[in-house]
Amino acid sequence: MTSEASLNALAPPVFDGINYQVWAVRMEAYLDASDLWEAVSEEYEVPPLSDNPTMTQIKLHNERRQRKSKAKASLFAAVSSTIFTRIMTLKTTNEIWNFLKKKYEGNERVKGMQVLNLIREFEMQMMKESETIKDYSDRLLSIVNKAQEQRRLMRQEGFVEGAFQAISQYKKEMQSNNNNSNNTQKFPPCPYYKKSNHPQKKCWWRPDAAVEELQDEQLFVVSCFATSSSSETWLIDSGCTNHMTYDQGLFKKLDKTVTSKVRIGNGAYLAIKGKGIVAIEGCTGLKLISNVLYVPEINQNLLSVGQLLEKGYKVLFDDNHCMIADAQGREVFIVQMKGKGFALDLMQEENVAIHKEESNTMLWHRRLGHFHHTALLFMKKNDLGEGLPELEVKPPTCVACQYGKQTKLPFPQNKA
């Protein structure tokens, strides 16, 4: 009883839209230890009792029904409030689990790109001067464990070989492109363009290549791979030409007549299904972002640095932080670098720059020519001034008045 009570007192891991694979492993272990994993993994219905049930049948029926209810309550308690609004209408625990898996784990292509990104990240790791050997090894082990977890999930779903073959082929193509850039290769003269610097199958002038043409003004470049993320997190990207989101529910106004294509980091093209204004609920209230493209397949919200600069904002990258300020120079957001990227989460208070508000008392004190504070309170109390706001009883000290009324000389008189 003691071990069971301590297990029930242990809170489930909370998922906020980031690191789904880690949360899924921890949540599965939690449900398994609570004897609730069967109610999540298997889609079964609790049949009604017969007309004359035995005590054993009644007990078994109640246990199975309570197990499903506890499993559903555990899943509801293991997600953030924003994600809860997306799963609250789902009826069974199996539907909830599969929805989260499909939404945040990604498809075969996304998983393959995630493994490729982890491999690249591992190869580019370097030990920092201020870092200990233990910290460096822990960082490497964290990347290796994430890659192994991705490979385990891909093997379970039966497409690990194809995904890793695609990764291997991609690396070979990158190596081949690097070699070709260093060594100019001659080809037979192309019958279409009459040049020998490219093969015939890659000629843009061949007749069957017309279907692949795109208008330049409708082509946008995204310098990132498609990865899973929460809809509250926006990646600040200097290589992205437009704000983009995959969540249609964020749009306050959406014009679906705007259609085009967007190119991602691996060279593929994704469809743009609309353009509009996004409304985001943050810890400081509602935020509106205009001219946002709706791209359902990117699985990542993107904030374009170029578009922010066009709107008059200032973006500064310094000391592992990204600062976004308005046209007056007031700080709006301060984002810390995580994983060589800047992810802005409006629900995190540390990302929001708190503006220092000036005291109304000091403001009216200076407006009236450094008027006495007691007289200001008298005017407010007797309604002698129109538009006077609420004033503080103990205002801050006015430095100008303090220096102006100082009678002591700053330096002693020279008696020589």
What's the pLDDT score for residue 44?
67
Helix (H, G, I), strand (E, B) or coil at 31: helix
What are the backbone dihedrals phi and psi of residue 314, each rounded to the nearest 5 degrees, phi first? -115, 130
* Contacts of residue 293, Cβ cutoff 8 Å, sequence gap at least 6: 220, 242, 243, 244, 245, 258, 262, 272, 274, 275
In the chain, the amino acid numbered 62 is N
Helix (H, G, I), strand (E, B) or coil at 223: coil
Long-range contacts of 375-384 (CB under 8 A, 24+ apart): none
Q: What is the CA radius of gyration of the chain?
A: 31
Nearest to 110 by CA among 299, 381, 356, 295: 299
CA-to-CA distance for 211 and 204, rounded, in angstroms?
A: 11
CA-to-CA distance for 344 and 352, rounded, in angstroms?
A: 9
In this structure, what is the dihedral angle of CA atoms 278, 279, 281, 282, given to the nearest 10 degrees? 60
Are 294 and 259 a contacting pair, CB within 8 Å? no
The Cβ of residue 34 has, within 10 Å, a number of other Cβ atoms equal to 18
Ordered DSSP codes for 83-146: HHHHHTT--SHHHHHHHHHHHHH--HHHHHHHHHHHHHHHHT----TT--HHHHHHHHHHHHHH
Q: Beta strands 233-237 and 343-345: pairing type?
A: antiparallel
What's the pLDDT score for residue 356?
47
Which stretches in the chain have pLDDT values below 50?
Answer: 1-3, 6-7, 159-161, 181, 184, 210-229, 353-356, 416
What's the pLDDT score for residue 310?
85
Ordered DSSP codes for 342-404: -EEETT-GGGBPPPPPPPHHHHHHHHTTS--HHHHHHHHHTT-STT-----SSPPP-HHHHHH
What's the pLDDT score for residue 173?
55
